[in-house]
């Protein structure tokens, strides 16, 4: 739980932010100042040159470790997204993270970090993009989490199959989660609630992702599926029905309960979801 005078860090562990986003980041920082917090910006927050990886993976990881080592920094917000977050994984000191616990927020490509920090350091990690702060009602939810330690789920949901699920939440962006396949960083699926969402991906791509998860043994072991928004797919005519049809094969095969919400994912209306934390959902 934070208090006035504490510091938070802004960083980009994936593709850095661009200069034309500076004003938006300044406005977000001002909100933290109004809450009585100080903001520390990592040197890797913005792209350097046309390619973000001109800032090396090692340097991005080092900047993250600097924030974790600081006793004054209580929370870290990754403002990035894109493709390059998994480049930094070999340079992360998970023992240091475990010894210096902080709140860590990110989404999309940062799915690889959220799940890795959970599995390797039992860290407090949250699926949330701070760049959405000024676009939705998440401001109050974030304030309550930071200052009152209240992270109870507040998203609206629809039961697709079943009426109850319980387990530790893992997952995030389906594309980025699968980057952890074959590594010791991917969470053990046993008795988990698997959260999946996607920005891009039409039916054939989503189908291939689901097949890979099944081939990894995920659907045979989890307790339930929490589906967020699948933005590109659901923009198509009958997109939601197509998504549910793709999922139905595995849900029927493994008798999985399924919940759907459009308040988790890439949309600006997305709420905060803690990864690596127990979740209980019951149909009213």
Supply 195's token pair. Answer: 């959260």
The residue count of the chain comes to: 284
Measured CA to CA, the distance from residue 279 to residue 110 in angstroms comes to: 21
Token pair for 55: 């800032």
Cα(261)–Cα(207) distance, integer angstroms:
19
Residue 281, CA atoms < 13 Å, CB-side half-sphere: 30
Which are the contacts of 234, defined by CB distance < 8 A and separation ≥ 6?
Answer: 240, 243, 262
- Can you tell me the distance from the alpha carbon of 134 to that of 94, in angstroms, rounded to the nearest whole number? 32
Say how far apart CA 91 and CA 63 lie, in whole Å. 11
Q: Is 235 helix (H, G, I), strand (E, B) or coil?
A: coil
Catalytic residues: 108, 197, 266
Instruction: Tokens 């938006």: give the residue.
Output: 24
């Amino acid at each position: 739980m934070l208090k006035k005078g504490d510091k938070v860090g802004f960083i980009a562990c994936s593709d850095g932010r661009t200069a034309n986003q500076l004003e938006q980041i300044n406005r977000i920082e001002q909100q933290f100042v109004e809450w009585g917090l100080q903001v520390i910006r990592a040197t890797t927050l913005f792209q350097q040159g046309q390619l973000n990886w001109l800032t090396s993976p090692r340097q991005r990881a080092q900047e993250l470790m600097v924030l974790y080592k600081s006793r004054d920094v209580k929370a870290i917000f990754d403002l990035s997204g894109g493709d390059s977050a998994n480049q930094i994984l070999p340079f992360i000191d998970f023992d240091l993270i475990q010894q210096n616990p902080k709140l860590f927020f990110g989404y999309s490509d940062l799915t690889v970090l959220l799940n890795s920090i959970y599995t390797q350091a039992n860290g407090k990690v949250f699926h949330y993009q701070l760049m959405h702060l000024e676009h939705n009602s998440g401001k109050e939810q974030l304030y309550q989490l930071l200052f009152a330690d209240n992270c109870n789920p507040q998203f609206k949901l629809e039961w697709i199959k079943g009426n109850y699920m319980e387990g530790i939440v893992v997952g995030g962006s389906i594309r980025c989660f699968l980057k952890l396949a074959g590594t010791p960083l991917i969470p053990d699926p046993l008795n988990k609630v698997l959260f999946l969402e996607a920005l891009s991906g039409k039916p054939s791509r989503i189908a291939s992702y689901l097949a890979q998860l099944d081939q990894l043994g995920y659907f045979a072991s989890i307790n339930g599926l929490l589906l967020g928004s699948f933005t590109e797919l659901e923009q198509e005519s009958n997109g939601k029905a197509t998504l549910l049809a793709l999922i139905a094969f595995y849900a029927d095969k493994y008798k999985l309960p399924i919940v759907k919400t459009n308040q988790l994912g890439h949309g600006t209306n997305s709420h905060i979801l803690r990864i690596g934390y127990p979740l209980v959902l019951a149909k009213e």
